[in-house]
Chain A
Amino acid sequence: MKTLREMRSAMAVLFNEGGGPWGGGNKGSGGSGSGGDTGGPRNPWSQPPEGDRPRGTNPSALDEFMKRARGVRGQMPEGSNPVRWIGYGVLAILALWIGLTSVHQIEPAERGVVTRLGRYSHTLSPGVSLTLPAPIDRVQTIDVSSLQTIDIPGGSGERLVLTGDQNIIDLEYSIGWKIRDPELFLFQSVEPETTIKSVAESAMRAAIANMPLNVAIGSGRNTIEAEVRQQMQTILDGYRTGVTVQRVTIKQTDPPEAVVDAFKEVTAAGSNAQTSVNNARTYAQQVLAKAKGEAGAFDRVYTQYKLAPEVTRRRMYYETMERVLSKVDKTIVEAPGVTPYLPLRELKRAPEPATGAAQ
Chain B
Amino acid sequence: MSLIERFMRHPLIFGIGAIALLFLITNTIRVVPETQQGVVLRFGEPVALVNRYQPNQQFGASGAGLLAIIPFSDSIIWIDKRVRDVDMAGQQVLSTDQYRLNVDAFARYRITNPLQMYISARTEDRVADQLAPILGSVVRNELGKRQFAELLSPERGIIMQNIRRALDVQARQYGAEIVDVRIKKTDPPEGAPLDATYARMRSARVQEARTIEAQGLQQAQIIRADADAEAAGIYAAAYGKDPSFYDFYRAMQSYEHTFGADGSTPTGQSSIILSPGNDYLREFRGGNR
Contact = CB atoms under 8 A, between A and B. Distances in A.
B182 A198 contact: yes
A277 B219 CA distance: 6
Contacts of A202: 106, 155, 182-184
B256 A323 contact: yes
Contact of A119 (B64, B215, B234): B64
Interface residues of A, number: 109
Interface stretch (A6-14, A52-60, A97-105, A331-339): A331-339
B241 interface: yes
A317 B271 contact: no
A134 B218 CA distance: 82
Contacts of B182: 198-199, 202, 235
A43 to B, nearest CB: 18
Contacts of A118: 31-34, 64-66
A117 B31 contact: yes
A80 interface: yes
Contacts of B238: 294-296, 298-299, 302
B271 A205 contact: no
Given A275-B216, A298-B249, A259 B223 contact: no
B228 interface: yes
A265 interface: yes
Contacts of B208: 266, 269
Contacts of A324: 255-256, 259, 261
Given A118-B32, A263-B205, A330 B59 contact: no
Contact of A334 (B216, B220, B276): B276
A345 B221 contact: no
Contact of A327 (B152, B201, B259): B259
Nearest to B248: A313
A254 to B, nearest CB: 12
Interface string A201-214: 11001100110010
Contacts of A122: 60
A332 B272 CA distance: 8
B220 A279 contact: yes
A320 B184 contact: no
A279 B227 CA distance: 13
A288 B230 contact: yes
A340 interface: yes
Interface string B88-116: 00000000000000000010100000000
Interface stretch (B1-9, B41-49, B134-142, B165-173): B1-9
Interface in A160-215: 160-162, 164, 166-168, 183, 186-191, 194-195, 198-199, 201-202, 205-206, 209-210, 213
A247 interface: no
A34 B272 contact: no
B241 A302 contact: yes
A276 B220 CA distance: 6
B162 interface: no
Interface in A268-294: 268-270, 272-277, 279-281, 283-285, 287-288, 290-292, 294
A120 B64 contact: yes
| 9 residue pairs, one from A and one from B, having the closest CB atoms | A273-B216, A284-B227, A280-B220, A291-B231, A295-B238, A262-B205, A269-B209, A119-B65, A323-B261
30 contacts: A34-B3, A83-B8, A84-B4, A117-B66, A118-B34, A120-B34, A168-B197, A186-B34, A190-B80, A239-B108, A256-B198, A258-B198, A259-B198, A262-B209, A272-B212, A272-B213, A273-B217, A276-B219, A277-B216, A285-B227, A287-B227, A288-B227, A302-B238, A302-B242, A302-B245, A329-B269, A329-B272, A331-B274, A332-B273, A333-B276
Interface of A: 32-37, 68-69, 80, 83-84, 87, 115-122, 158, 160-162, 164, 166-168, 183, 186-191, 194-195, 198-199, 201-202, 205-206, 209-210, 213, 235, 238-240, 255-256, 258-259, 261-263, 265-266, 268-270, 272-277, 279-281, 283-285, 287-288, 290-292, 294-296, 298-299, 301-302, 305, 309, 313, 316-317, 320-321, 323-335, 340, 344-345
Interface of B: 1-5, 8, 11, 31-35, 59-60, 64-66, 80-85, 87, 106, 108, 148-149, 152-153, 155-156, 179-180, 182-188, 194, 197-198, 200-202, 204-206, 208-210, 212-213, 215-217, 219-224, 226-228, 230-232, 234-235, 237-239, 241-242, 245-246, 248-249, 252, 255-256, 259-262, 269-277, 280-281
